[in-house]
Amino acid sequence: MTADSSRINAITAHYGREQTVSEWFTVDQRLIDQFGQATCDSDWLHTDPVRAAHESPFGGTIAYGFWTVSMMTYFARQMMGSDYPEGALFGLNYGLDRLRFISPVPVGSRIRSRAALLEVEERENGRYLVRVEFQINVEGVEKPAMVAEWLTMLVFPT
């Protein structure tokens, strides 16, 4: 077995060959408020439960879309562990492809993630581009709240 194939096997083992599913996570207004403060975004749809209960089409506040995206890190560490694949020095967030917000995430709801390894692409100098499909689902809602392909660049020693 070559070094390249053993690295690809380590990456595949780390991410899993089948779709993984996280535990449920409750969306809390305090977390949404903190996200709004951190990003200087005070949109009432997210931060004013009284107004949102009366004026929003959702009957209450909803999570920011980018908060939902940011939860991918939490769910990934829950599903795949905090370490990198065996032999990897580190991984870098390479970006997102095909990010879509399909349905709202109501504050007070529970969400979880589904993830599936789509592709591992060998690059030069010990680098491997990993593409994982992520979904964030709201409990009791058929359509996912968010879908994206998350790209990570794993770096191995050369």
Could you tell me the domains of the chain?
A: 3-155 (3.10.129.10)
Count CA atoms closer than 13 A to 82's CA, side-chain side.
1
Average of per-residue pLDDT across 128-153: 97
CA 4, 10, 14, 15: dihedral to nearest 10 degrees?
A: 40
145 near 105, Cβ under 8 Å? yes
The phi, psi pair for 42, rounded to 5°, reads -110, 30
Q: In angstroms, rounded to a whole number, what is the distance separating the alpha carbons of residues 81 and 74?
A: 10
12 pLDDT higher than 80:
yes
Tokens of 89: 């020095």
If one counts every other C-beta atom within 10 angstroms of the C-beta of residue 110, the result is 15
pLDDT digits (tens, 9 = 90+) for 77-118: 888 877 788 889 999 999 999 999 999 999 999 999 999 999
Tokens of 123: 């690059």
Q: In angstroms, rounded to a whole number, what is the distance separating the alpha carbons of residues 25 and 21?
A: 12
List the single range of 7-21, 39-53, 86-100 with lowest mean pLDDT. Answer: 7-21
